[in-house]
Structure 1
Amino acid sequence: MQHTRTQDTLVGLFIASGIVGLFFLAMQVSNLGSFTEHDGYTITARFENSGGLKVKSPVSSAGVKIGRVSAISFDTTTYQSVVQMNIDAQYNTLPEDTTASVFTAGLLGEQYVNLEAGGSDELLKDGGNIEITQSAIILEKAIGQFLFKSASEKK
């Protein structure tokens, strides 16, 4: 069978488009799909344990993604995890008494921050702090407590 230059070019374009498609798929899976920084405002929350939370992890409210984690640091004075979140500008109506929790998507999924709106008339502003937080539940710690409790009840 004779190979023509047109066939070789088409096969090359097909393979190149497949590589580009895999690249964009990898970017979406690794939470790097957005190359531009959206306008928004930054809020901060302190957690006793932020678990496996990572920079670029989603921030959601009522199941809707409203932002991303922009930075995670450790406060050496209070020994807490300080999580900064960039919230999209269109969601600028979060009450001041909003609560933040670290949840896991599925049993072994990625962790994300869930914001639950409070009832205050005052709104969170750029640089605002969320006072009420709930840390991540560490699966190994919960299993250890269950096993320890079961062993002590048998005695």
Structure 2
Amino acid sequence: MKKYTMETTVGIFVLAGLLCVAYLTVKLGKLDVLGGDRYPVTARFKDVTGLKSGAYVEMAGVRIGRVSGITLDTKDNMALVALDIDKGVRLTDDAIASIKTSGLIGDKFVKVSPGGSDDVLGPGGVITETEASVDLGDLIGKYVFGGVK
């Protein structure tokens, strides 16, 4: 009988350890298992050079979401950036999305500037006012070859 209680105790500890590892994997990997507290919004850009899935979305310097995916709209040849925005954040239909760089040569992120409208952009909405990223290589090339005035 004593053998079975020892095996049961070890089995419970192993199960508890596996549950802890699974929990930490989900939390540290920033995975949303049950849907999370975010809603999807799409932004249409002419150019998203350097932006990656998983990049941050910020408003007024505060992180409000993540980039969940980037696809190409072959009809308009525009990049569609899927954003997951925190549920507590209200975006208006005239909000402006820009691609910025953190630091001089840092990672790209999406900066959202609030608009002045009272109409709220709901789940599945599209941000049409966008600013593409500035390519440092293009700017240096224009300066070197005399394209900058």
Q: TM-score, normalised by structure 2?
A: 0.76
SS at 2:66 equivalent? strand
**What is the deviation of 1:38?**
2.2
Post-superposition Cα deviations, 1:13-70, rounded to whole Å, max 9, x if no partner, equal xxxxxxx9xxx9xxx9xxx741235221111111111011111100000000000001
What letter matches 1:85 in structure 2? Answer: L
Q: TM-score, normalised by structure 1?
A: 0.73
| Equivalent in the alignment of 1:34 | 30
| Equivalent in the alignment of 1:69 | 67
| Equivalent in the alignment of 2:104 | 107
| Equivalent in the alignment of 1:137 | 134
| Structure 1: 5+ residue stretches without partners | 1-19
Rounded Cα–Cα distance in structure 1 between residues aligned with 2:31 and 2:69: 17
Count of matched residue pairs: 125
Identity %: 40
| Structure 2: 5+ residue stretches without partners | 1-20
What letter matches 1:65 in structure 2? Answer: R
Post-superposition Cα deviations, 1:64-119, rounded to whole Å, max 9, x if no partner, equal 0000001100111211111010001111x211100000000001111000000000
Rounded Cα–Cα distance in structure 2 between residues aligned with 1:149 and 1:97: 36
Greater fraction of residues in helix = 1
SS at 2:91 equivalent? coil
